[in-house]
Structure 1
Amino acid sequence: MMKDRPTTTSHETAPAGETPTAAGHPGRATEADTPRAIRRGATLREMAREFVRHPSPWMIAAVFVAALVARIAVGDWQLTDALVPLIVVATFPVTEWIIHVTVLHWRPRHLGPVTIDSELARKHRAHHTDPRDTPLVFIPPKSLTLTIVALVAIGLLAFPRLGLGLTFLLTITTLGLLYEWTHYLIHTDYKPKHALYRAIWRNHRHHHYKNEHYWFTVTTSGTADRLLGTAPDPATVPTSPTARHLHAQ
């Protein structure tokens, strides 16, 4: 992990007009609001060096490479090999929204003495508590392993052709890497330089620092949020007291 510390206050990393606050001290930035791994003004190259120090990008990349080698070996290219990526990419914003709302923002349930609460939900609550804790930005390895097993099973068993299933795996792992990189980059001090990334950056920052009940998409500029009614005008939304502590009420 890089050891450099930024000298900025936390308002420079929140959405325009928003200041992340320390728990119990609204409006006052503290050391908890400063990044632990990324220094101010870091370049994309430095971001990438930090990115590859975490396990999830390597795990997803390994599946991508294995699927690519297998896909080339199998051959049997058909028109549907172009159709599957189009469908997956077109539906990904809604899929991402659903996972964020139903899995990551899962409220723990109690069934007698048993608490139903996944690792993904627990880690995501911790991520909201400290959005600048870099390891919490990434998909937990244990949960990612189970997800990879499930996706490989779908790719090998749910498609009429092996080649088509491998095409599915190539597509989903590409999107997985895009998700990890985008989510990671949003939570660093790297500033948006292009309109599309600026919109994505602002959307997710509002989710963390304005109100956790809105702006659930991460890799798009809010397409699914607009479709599903969770992209209000930020000026009309009150700052949530539980954005840093999910389900605290």
Structure 2
Amino acid sequence: MADVAPRASAAPGAAATPGAAATPRASGAAATPPVRRWLPAGSAAPAARRRPGPGSLGRAVARLDRPGPHGSAAEVRTLPAALRRFLSHPRPPVLIGAVSAVAAARSARGPIRRRDVGTAAACLCAQPFVEWAVHRFLLHARPGGPLGSVGYQLAGFGHELHHRDPANLDTMFLRPREVTAGAAAAVTVAAVAPPAVGTVAVCVGLGALAYDWTHFLIHTSVRPSHRYYRRLWHGHRLHHYRNERYWLGVTSPVADIMLGTSPTGAEVPVSPTATGAARAAARAAARAAGETEEAVRRT
């Protein structure tokens, strides 16, 4: 057995001398013997228990988002490799766990009924328009005015980083901070609201998961082999490299078709903020300057 004794405290007002042992007060009274705690041999004294502060939950969520670099989606060339990369990244598993928690909360409320099927069908029809609106007004929010500034801080800035380097996996997926906050609200709704409302919460989670997977797959080097996916792939490429105000649908082109944001590429000018637009403009300017110099030399 090993004993552990606390350090002796110096008298109040007395200066501590480095290297000197503390002595009891010179009061004529016997020194109080130190309190000894018996611990098993080789064990250390237990550390003081820390109460969880208000930032403990935030730190736990932050630990879910392991820092990068996580590489580039362009490195992925096959569908199985894409699935492995998707599941090995720290962010998508958090979303999968959140959707599973919401689904479990809804399942605890009872079986799926005809009303739930109708609710799910309505959510499926609304998904393209919800995705379009979130992409247009939240992900592409710009600072200016109270709503724009809030949207830019919440999601616009992170999405702007994604547009600067579209294949960068560090800025590709939904962040655990927003996912866990949304999941907490959705689980509460699924647990206490009517079952049909819980079904809506599950559909919202599945829509977010479909968006994250499809968006990631489009930015990989996996070439589309199906007509539907080829259209999504082509539209999102135009969104990044032609003009970010068009082709806002990721999992479906329906909203773009109905809202007039799915023109042919030639109908839309290249946006100055499109990915690679600055480099293309610089190359065009250099080419024009070279042609001008050549014309001057010919004269």
TM range (shorter): 0.7 to 0.9
**Counterparts of 1:182 and 1:54, CA distance in 2:** 15
Change (3 A) 1:245 1:101: farther
Give the drift of 1:218.
0.6
Q: CA deviation at 1:40?
A: 5.3
Contact 1:125-1:245 within 8 A present in 2 as well: no
Instruction: Please list every run of 5 or more consecutive structure 1 residues that lacks an aligned counterpart in the other structure.
Output: 1-34
**8 Å contact kept, 1:216–1:230:** yes
How far 1:105 sits from its partner (Å)?
0.6
Q: Which residue of 1 aligns with 2:269?
A: 238
CA distance in structure 2 between the aligned counterparts of 1:100 and 1:74, rounded to whole angstroms: 32
* TM superposition shift of 1:110: 5.8
Structure 2: distance between partners of 1:146 and 1:240:
34
Distance in 2 between residues matched to 1:51 and 1:167, nearest whole Å: 26
- Structure number with the bigger relative contact order (C-alpha 8 A, sep ≥ 6) is 1
Following superposition, the deviation at residue 176 of structure 1 comes to 1.7
Rg (Cα) greater in structure: 2
CA 1:143/1:68 → structure 2, altered by over 3 Å: closer, same or farther?
Answer: closer
Provide the secondary structure at the position in 2 that maps to 1:109: coil
Cα deviation, residue 60, structure 1 = 2.1
Maintained 8 Å contact 1:120/1:140: no
Task: Indicate conservation of the 8 Å contact 1:137/1:187, yes or no.
Answer: no
The answer to whether structure 1 residue 51 and structure 2 residue 82 are counterparts is no
Matched, 1:93 2:131: no
- Corresponding position of 1:165: 197
Partner of 2:14: none
1:33-61 deviations in whole A, cap 9, x for unaligned? xx943455721111111111223321222
Residues in 2 aligned to 1:235 and 1:245: alpha-carbon distance in whole angstroms: 17
Q: Which moved more, 1:227-236 or 1:140-149?
A: 140-149
Question: In the superposition, relative to structure 1, how do residues 165 and 38 fare at CA in structure 2: closer, same or farther (>3 Å)?
Answer: same
Please state whether the residue corresponding to 2:108 is helix, strand or coil: helix
TM-score by length of 2: 0.62
CA distance in 1, matches of 2:131, 2:190: 19
Map of 2:110 onto structure 1: 75
| Residue of structure 2 aligned with 1:228, choices 238, 250, 259 | 259
Structure 2: gaps of 5 or more residues: 1-69, 278-299
TM-fit CA distance, 1:146: 2.7
Does the CA contact (< 8 Å) of 1:225 and 1:231 recur in 2? yes
Give the secondary structure class of the aligned counterpart of 1:95.
helix
| Separation (CA, whole Å) in 2 of partners of 1:194 and 1:137 | 24
Structure 1 position 201 matched with structure 2 position 233: yes
Of 230, 251, 257, the match for 1:219: 251
Contact in 1 for aligned 2:105/2:190 (Cα 8 Å):
no
In 1: Cα distance, 2:200 partner to 2:91 partner: 19
State the one-letter code of the partner of 1:201. Answer: W
Aligned partner of 2:263: which letter? P
Identity across matched positions, percent? 34
CA distance in structure 1 between the partners assigned to 2:247 and 2:169 by the alignment: 21
Decide whether the 8 Å contact of 2:91 with 2:176 is kept in 1.
Answer: yes
The structure-2 alpha-carbon separation of the partners of 1:39 and 1:212, relative to structure 1 and needing over 3 Å to count, comes to closer
- Partners of 1:245 and 1:152 in 2: CA distance: 41
State the distance in 2 between where 1:179 and 1:43 align.
Answer: 19
The offset of 1:109, in angstroms, is: 2.3
Q: Secondary structure at the match of 1:94?
A: helix
Aligned to 2:172: 137
Aligned counterpart, 2:58? none
2:215 to 183, 192, 207: 183
Number of residue equivalences: 205
Q: Is the 8 A contact 1:85 1:168 kept in 2?
A: yes
Relative to structure 1, the CA distance from residue 176 to residue 41 in structure 2 (aligned partners, 3 Å threshold; closer, same or farther) is closer
Contact 1:64–1:174 (Cα < 8 Å) also in 2: yes
Q: CA RMSD in A?
A: 2.4
TM-fit CA distance, 1:178:
1.1
In the TM superposition, residue 170 of structure 1 has moved relative to its aligned partner by 2.5
